[in-house]
Structure 1
Amino acid sequence: MNISETNHDQHPVDLSKALKSAGLQVTAQRLAVYRAVCSSPHAIADDICKAVRLELGVISRQAVYDALNVMSEHGIIRRIQPAGSAARYEHRVDNHHHLACRRCGNLIDIDCAVGEAPCLIAEHDHGYKIDEAEVTYWGICPDCQKTADSKA
């Protein structure tokens, strides 16, 4: 399985194949970390660690960080880090962007407006072979807008 061709609805059932094809061992810890990432997209590592501990019991923070790092290095999950935020992890690895709230920090996925990987074509690539682009739109989410309106 080519993990980059999976859709954003990928489930843990696919993870064993993805790990094996990347030459990685399938472990209970990696499966639990992946399930935690799937159940809480855009979570930070500490929140993923808490979820994994609820499922497995004892696991070191380092083991969770190691699983997140190795899976993101192999394209099984995606690590993103919007400006001013801790690293966050998501199971959606296809080409998409993010919309972040400046007030509460909520982060949601948004699809490209113009189709397949349009943002990979730079006006001038300066000799680089571009393989990824990160776009983050910033604004104020509807909940924060309501809170601001009610205070006015």
Structure 2
Amino acid sequence: MTHSHDAHETRAEQLLRAAALRVTGPRVATLDAVRRHAHADTETIIRAVREELPAVSHQAVYDSLHALTEAGLMRRIQPHGLVARYESRVGDNHHHLVCRSCDLIVDVACVHGEAPCIRPADPRGFAVDEAELIFWGLCPDCQAGDVAAPAAS
């Protein structure tokens, strides 16, 4: 009988092999951590990987993040002014909402569906195949906090 954890590792191993990457403990654990923690920063991912592999080095996780991103198994995003974040949602055409107050990042679908969902007015000869949009604002929790703050003063 296969345990659900074993089945998940098998899926991670299949993804690594399909991407022509060597299957290693840190890579499997890093892929799993990014899947469990959408838009997590590196430190959060390191902590999550260490839950599975307590002795893993920072460098092994950094190397895994780089290899998995290069292979297209995860995506690195870095909204202006924030540390890099990682997500396992790849291969679709989505963008992000970012809260200016608490740095919450939320996926948002593109209105037009296929990539790129927007095109520059003058692509200057570029063959555009992707557009990355970041929408900035305040999340509902921070909006509620900002409304309450002036009343408390």
Structure 1 portions without partners, runs of 5+: 1-10
Query: Which string of whole-angstrom CA distances, capped at 9 and with x for unpartnered residues, describes residues 100-134 of structure 1?
Result: 00000000001012222243532221112222221
Q: Which moved more, 1:112-121 or 1:129-138?
A: 112-121
2:116–2:130 contact (8 Å) kept in structure 1: no
Q: What is the aligned-residue identity percentage? A: 47
Between the aligned partners of 1:142 and 1:30, the Cα distance in structure 2 is 35
TM-score (norm 2): 0.86
Moved over 3 A (4+): 11-14
Q: Does 1:67 align with 2:46?
A: no
Structure 2 portions without partners, runs of 5+: 1-7
TM-score (norm 1): 0.87
1:100 to 91, 98, 101: 98
How many aligned positions are there? 142
**Structure of larger gyration radius:** 2
Higher relative contact order (CA 8 A, sep 6+): 1
Name the structure 2 match of 1:123. 121
Name the structure 2 match of 1:41. 38
Q: Provide closer, same or farther for how the CA distance between residues 25 and 110 of structure 1 changes in structure 2, counting only shifts above 3 A.
A: same
